Amino acid sequence: MDGALKSLNGINFIDLTGSDSNINRESDLNDLLSLCYYHNSNYILMDEKNLSQEFFNLRSGLAGVAMQKFANYQAKVAILLPAHADKSERFKELMYEMSRSNHFRFYDNRADAEVWLTT
């Protein structure tokens, strides 16, 4: 797992948006959390291309596992997802539920995502 360490408003975060890294399975989540630990940061910015189709398929359980791991390790994760993204109604419901926590949010623009991550 590779990502750039960036800083905004004195907060360091892992930026996967320019990376080819993908979350395809639970071990990829573990690698991402290890990268956070290595850089002493619990803040992550990623976009749709960093997530496999398994993540969006709720039957795989990957999104639920991700949500639980990020909460357990107190990671704050912003995902860039275009407003017009074609996702299932069930996934949209999950997005709503995930966004109610302070660990996981979806944004359609980078500026809003960075503000949430760094405040």
CA distance 76 to 117: 7
pLDDT tens digit string along 5-34?
999 999 999 999 999 999 999 999 999 999
pLDDT at position 99: 76
pTM of the model: 0.90
CA distance 99 to 18: 23
Domain ranges of the chain: 4-109
pLDDT mean over 81-99 = 78
What CATH topology corresponds to 4-109? Transcription Regulator spoIIAA (3.30.750)
pLDDT at position 109: 94
- Asked if the model's pLDDT at residue 62 lies above 80, the reply is yes
Nearest to 94 by CA among 118, 44, 59, 45: 59
pLDDT tier for residue 44 given thresholds of 50, 70 and 90: very high
